[in-house]
Structure 1
Amino acid sequence: MAPARGAARPPGLVAARAAARPPGLVSARAADIPCPKPKVAPPADRPPAPVPPPDDPVGSAIGGDALATHGLVIPPGAKAPPAVTASTWMVADLDTGEVLGGCGPHVPRTPASVQKTLLAATVIDKLNPAQRITVTPSDLNIEPGSSAVGLIPGGTYSISTLWLGLMLNSGNDAANALARLAGGGGPDGVARTVAAMNATARRIGAYQTHAVTPSGLDGKGQFTSAYDLALIARVCFANADFRRFVRTPRARMPAQPKLKKPGFQFQNENKLIFNYPGALGGKTGFTKLARHSYVGAAQRNGRRLVVTLLGAEARPLRGWQQGAALLDWGFALPADASVGKLVSPQDLAPAPSPTPPPPAPPKAAATRTQSKPEPPQVLSVAAAASVALLLAGTPLLLLLTQRRRRRPKRTH
């Protein structure tokens, strides 16, 4: 979200918006270009979207001025992207950080379960996948009817099993258990992890993101943006465990003999990994308020692209199918196509202060009577004799040449 009124802006924020704009690209903010949309009537039971925070001119231009638009931004001469129902979306290169195009990339929207990627970006490095955890009743404190992987209070599970339940089956119960453990395991563990998630978002430049729940279940004031999701995805896909989890097609929840509960199998809800060549995985999301959201990545011809979308409907294409269509569009663009840049934490860090020169030694106090200058020091007899011996064997011309020779200029 935008910084609070009167609060100091994060270090480097103004510099981050000044990312190089590709030649010939004109910012679309002055007159937003409509994004291609299919002619589909919205569902009758769709509730009104939460009111987002007001536009932040500086935050909306992070990564380049051209990204500060509620409409379409694509490279000059690029083919029009496919029509999708997503309210906002973006395609970027995971490796180079180049933004290939988007629709309202910085416009805040409700995230739904793609927020679980922020949970992963925050704590996946802090939790040992082999560690085991006992589920508590509070871990199942989720919205009735929302997505759960089927954890049982009193059951014992490995952290890797919880990550699989989170990523494959979008388990909100798994999100609570992981957040509680990462936050210290106590009753305030979830709240502490949510605070850490928001700190992670600020650190990586995701300033339109504000988490209220670790799972993405709707909460007042909870928002993210397509641009922020790409920043978060870039952190996640740099982690080997995350890449392994999101590409897993199916997993098994272990039995709990002491509780007389059998095990069961669950599978990955992200159909991209089953249907898209080169799919690297991702995360789906849905709530009635957020509608469908999606983060997906794929590799083709040595390029790794990520697509993020928010506020989509499942007709005529499901969220992952809209993501696949946008990935196809991105892969068809030239490798040097760009409308902006994914910033890095280094881009946002304040510039180091120059090292001040050492203080000059204090001047001696002036005296009324000026002391006589000391006579020049005379070489000792032995030193003078040594110099005389050296000079005797050195031609005078060589001495003059070396004395007059200029020092060569340094090359860089």
Structure 2
Amino acid sequence: MHSVVSRSLKVFTTTLAAALLALSTPALAAAAPQQAQCANHQAPPPPVDTSEKPAPGKQVPPPLAVPAVPVGGDRMAECGLITPNGALNPPDGNTAASWLVQDLDTGAVIAAKDPHARHRPASLIKTLLALVVVTQLKPEQVIVASKEDAEQECTCVGLVAGGQYTVDQLLHGLLMHSGNDVAHTFATALGGADAAVAKMNALAAKIGALDTRAATPSGLDGPGMSTSAYDLSLIFHYAMKQPEFAQVVATKNFEIPPAGGKPAIPIWNDNKLLGVYPGFLGGKTGFTDDARHTYVGAAQRKGKRLAVVMLRAEQKPTKVVDQAAKLLDYGFALEDDHAAPVGQITYRAPAATPENGDRPAAADSGTGTGNSGTSAAASAAKEDPFGVTGWIITLVVFLIIVGGFFVGHQRKKATS
């Protein structure tokens, strides 16, 4: 009789183990990308100076929450090179800690490296400020620069206190020459530096740039500053849909008329690929000691428009713009080979958080080809608060209880 009970218990144990393995395997596989945390998963590398020291009485804000589902597709959570299956690796010599190449028309991510790693944007954050400006201020609106505006830590265009400038003129100074005096002037017009930063962060959250927190309007390092190659690709993708923005970054030279008793200010575009790289559409450069070199640029070839973002790059062994040109070449080569995308630039409105207030949770694909799989997975996770693990544990307990009754019944039969 004892052998009957033993066989029954063995059958039950084997069945239970098989059921648990079948249930847990897909759950563990789904969770695997999220468990393998990349470097700078939550926050940029430690600062090298005191630029991010908070003002007296204030604290450094905590890192932004990391979405449970990687924005842009599962592969966007990977840490190293992310290329199409079977594709050659990009050319050697790229120094960026994080980068992404995208199709500006479809939003397809062609290739990337650690796209959601959090780094500092430097002056690339001016693309986000410019988006706020073109959506809230009219091009012909006149702004008077203050003494504080004109005395910002440079790079500066050379605005004069009391000088009157149109929004369009200032936008050229902001994007072509990365004027910090212009950034502060815009911030003043938007209600002050704190108000401008709040508007920048609200817009970033609204369009789905969930790795991004501006700390200053200009990109000078400040407490809590954060972004990613994916986010800046999303922001640039959105910005290039705005005709005023696209026209300014494609301008090679411009002149701000005389103002405040001072002569005209000539401006040349800092982006050295403009007029050199075939089909170049414009972009933005940046640098701080903490961010290192940052870059965004776009080009068109054979009807395809591609853009590259690079973060935390160095000027050696080759200049960052030359590294960017090679990544664009690589992207166009993959497009010619009809390589499958590795992700998708996806606009969406996030659920309400303490930082962005009550925002609609409905997904919004700005490209028309958004990552519906990612959105559906996020919705499913949101609608099932109990979670996969909870259901597995419940099933285990249920099976143990049933098994207990079964084994008890067999023992009762064996002793009768």
State whether TM-score is above 0.5.
yes
The separation in 1 between residues aligned to 2:264 and 2:181, in whole angstroms, is: 17
2:361 alignment counterpart: 350
Aligned residue in 1 for 2:103: 93
Counterpart amino acid of residue 350 in structure 1: A
Give the share of equivalent positions with the same residue, in percent: 46
Q: Shift of the alpha carbon at 1:70?
A: 2.3
Matched, 1:242 2:245: yes
1:198 and 2:209 aligned: no
User: How far did 1:140 drift?
Assistant: 3.0
Q: Classify the secondary structure of the residue corresponding to 2:135.
A: coil
**Helix, strand or coil for the counterpart of 1:345?**
coil
Aligned to 2:75: 66
1:216 corresponds in structure 2 to 219
- Cα-Cα RMSD: 2.8
Structure 1 length-normalised TM: 0.69
Q: CA offset at residue 141 of structure 1?
A: 4.8
The aligned counterpart of 1:21 is none
Matches within 5 A, 1:322-361: 322-334=323-335, 335-345=338-348, 350-351=361-362
**Match for residue 141 of structure 2?**
131
Asked if structure 1 preserves the Cα contact closer than 8 Å seen for 2:252 and 2:268, the reply is yes
1:230-379 pair list within 5 angstroms: 230-256=233-259, 259-334=260-335, 335-345=338-348, 350-351=361-362
Deviation at 1:339, TM superposition (A): 0.7
Question: Does the alignment pair 1:164 with 2:172?
Answer: yes
Gaps of 5+ in 1: 1-25, 34-45, 184-188, 354-412
Deviations 1:277-316 (A, max 9, x none): 1111010001111110001111111111111011011112
Contact kept, 8 Å, 1:28 with 1:69, in 2: the verdict is no
Q: Is the 8 A contact 1:281 1:297 kept in 2?
A: yes
The verdict on how the C-alpha distance between 1:121 and 1:60 changes in structure 2, with shifts beyond 3 A counting, is: farther
Q: Does 1:147 align with 2:147?
A: no
One-letter code of the match for 2:87? A
CA distance in 2, matches of 1:99, 1:32: 19
Note if contact 1:97-1:343 (Cα within 8 Å) is conserved in structure 2.
Answer: yes
How far residue 178 of structure 1 moved from its aligned partner, in angstroms, is 1.4
Shift in CA distance, 115/57, structure 1 to aligned 2, threshold 3 Å: closer
Q: Which amino acid aligns with 2:88?
A: K
> 2:96 is paired with a residue of what secondary structure?
coil
Rounded Cα–Cα distance in structure 2 between residues aligned with 1:236 and 1:195: 18
Equivalent-residue separation in structure 1 for 2:141 and 2:226 (angstroms): 32
Cα distance per residue 1:170-205 (max 9 Å; x no partner): 00010111122133xxxxx22111101101111111
Distance of 2:246 and 2:278 partners within structure 1: 16
Output one character per residue of 1:78-103: Cα deviation in whole Å (capped at 9) or x when no partner: 11112311111001111111111111
Change in CA separation of 1:32 and 1:159 when aligned onto 2, cut-off 3 Å = closer
Structure 1 position 32, deviation (Å): 7.5
Q: Does 1:77 align with 2:86?
A: yes
2:280–2:298: 8 Å Cα contact kept in structure 1? Answer: yes
Q: Give the distance between the partners of 1:274 and 1:203, measured in 2 at CA.
A: 34
Q: Tell me, what secondary structure is at the counterpart of 1:123?
A: helix
TM-score (norm 2): 0.68
Deviation, 1:265, is 1.4
Structure (1/2) with the larger helix percentage: 2
Deviates more, 1:261-270 or 1:201-210: 261-270
* Large movers: runs of 4+ above 4 Å: 26-33, 46-57, 346-349
Judged with a 3 Å threshold, the aligned counterparts in structure 2 of structure 1 residues 234 and 267 are, in CA distance, closer, same or farther, namely: same
CA, structure 1 residues 270+217, in 2 after alignment: closer, same or farther (shift >3 Å)?
Answer: same
CA offsets, 1:27-63, max 9 Å, x none? 6985989xxxxxxxxxxxx769989976965357111
**One-letter amino acid of the structure 2 residue matched with residue 174 of structure 1:** V
Aligned-partner Cα distance in 1 for 2:38–2:224: 26
- Partner of 1:120, secondary structure, is helix
| Counterparts of 2:265 and 2:75, CA distance in 1 | 49
1:161/1:333 Cα in 2 relative to 1: closer, same or farther (>3 Å)? same
Look at both structures and tell me which one has the larger radius of gyration over its CA atoms.
1
The 1-side partners of 2:185 and 2:275 are apart by 28
Question: How far did 1:336 drift?
Answer: 4.9
**Residue type of the partner of 1:130?**
E
Count of matched residue positions in the alignment of Structure 1 and Structure 2:
307
Q: Which amino acid aligns with 1:178?
A: F
The answer to whether the 8 Å contact 2:34/2:68 transfers is no
Per-residue deviation, residues 54-78 of structure 1 (Å, max 9, x unmatched): 6965357111111112211111011
CA distance in 2 between counterparts of 1:293 and 1:213 reads 16
